[in-house]
Structure 1
Amino acid sequence: MSLLYLWVKWIHILSSTLLMGTGLGIAFFMWVAHLRGDAKVIAATARTVVIADACFTAPAVVVQLLTGLWLTRIMGIPLTHYWIKVALILFVLVGCCWLPVLWLQVRARNLAMQASAGGEPLPAAYYRTMRWWFWLGWPAFISVVAIFWLMVMKPG
């Protein structure tokens, strides 16, 4: 194995770990804040979650894609190879869930900030936003777990 391959693989593994860790952490803290039902807590938590997604999750997504494609090139594996193709399809699915989730987190933050500033209860729009956030998170999480499995097992 070349030294380049090992470095790219190391970066790929680190970024996948960062992606999974921040994804789970963000989901956990956002959900716990939501369960508390306190607009001020939700606004503060969502503000941090939005920053964390911009600083950690988004760059990790880009690094994942670039290093994954680079690894296939180094190894001479075509993108049409079964497990690579499935992983890329799942990666796109994750993105299709994650991009709306980013917008939903910003919306939840803004709605909670407005409610908190006005001393009002959380509006119905906030609860609709969080329902979408919750349900879009599941296919993304399951897909990321499946991608991890594909990277390790490399079937077919």
Structure 2
Amino acid sequence: MAYLWIKWIHILSSTLLFGTGLGIAFFMWMAHLTGDARHIAKTARVVVIADTVFTAPAVLVQFLTGAWMVHRLGAPYSTFWIGSALVLFFVVGACWLPVVWLQARARDLARIAADTDSPLPAAYMRTMRWWFVLGWPAFLGVLGVFALMVFKPAGPG
């Protein structure tokens, strides 16, 4: 019974992680497209809070519940789908951590522009380019982890 509860928590946290990440990206991008520094600053402020309150804990819960289930099942980490999911999990994390910092940087640059009634600076545009570029492998990596968890492929050979 404990396994099913942990699995349930794992599935809920993966849903939260994916849904929140997609929602955050959508609202951040839509605000960016307005070019309105005040709107961007307000949206990015909420985005940074959402990442802190929802996404970060979901990442931790994903890792802990996944590791617990692997241990409980006695499955080796060398199992193709488990090892591949872990690699993707860390790739996603390597992309996501800078994205969180970039969101905070975009927020700060937009807030300064809004407070001084100035246009968004070139540093803001560079920040958002990196945010966009790093967001894609993170998003695709999460999709890959979902596919591995559902299909559990045996791997090559």
TM-score range, shorter chain: over 0.9
Match of 2:49 in 1: 51
What amino acid is the match of 1:42? Answer: I
Deviation at 1:76, TM superposition (A): 1.0
Alignment of 1:114-133 (within 5 A): 114-133=112-131
- Provide the rounded CA distance (Å) in 2 between the counterparts of 1:152 and 1:75: 16
Match of 1:134 in 2: 132
User: Which of these residues, 60, 63, 67, is aligned with residue 62 of structure 1?
Assistant: 60
Deviation at 1:12, TM superposition (A): 0.2
- Provide the rounded CA distance (Å) in 1 between the counterparts of 2:146 and 2:15: 10
User: Which of these residues, 137, 148, 151, is aligned with residue 150 of structure 1?
Assistant: 148
Match of 1:5 in 2: 3
Match of 1:110 in 2: 108
- Provide the rounded CA distance (Å) in 2 between the counterparts of 1:35 and 1:41: 10
1:69-88 deviation per Cα after TM superposition (whole angstroms, max 9, x unaligned): 00101111111111000000
Q: TM-score, normalised by structure 2?
A: 0.98
- Provide the rounded CA distance (Å) in 2 between the counterparts of 1:142 and 1:116: 33
- Provide the rounded CA distance (Å) in 2 between the counterparts of 1:37 and 1:136: 21
What amino acid is the match of 1:10? Answer: W
Q: TM-score, normalised by structure 1?
A: 0.98
What amino acid is the match of 1:74? Answer: R
Match of 1:93 in 2: 91
- Provide the rounded CA distance (Å) in 2 between the counterparts of 1:57 and 1:121: 31
Q: Among all aligned residue pairs of Structure 1 and Structure 2, give the percentage whose two residues are the same amino acid.
A: 67
Confirm or deny that 1:26 pairs with 2:55.
Answer: no
1:26-48 deviation per Cα after TM superposition (whole angstroms, max 9, x unaligned): 00000000000000000000000
What amino acid is the match of 1:81? Answer: T
Paired positions, count: 154
Deviation at 1:11, TM superposition (A): 0.2
SS at match of 2:145: helix
SS at match of 1:119: coil
- Provide the rounded CA distance (Å) in 1 between the counterparts of 2:84 and 2:114: 44
Deviation at 1:95, TM superposition (A): 0.5
- Is there any run of 5+ residues in structure 1 with no aligned partner, and where? none
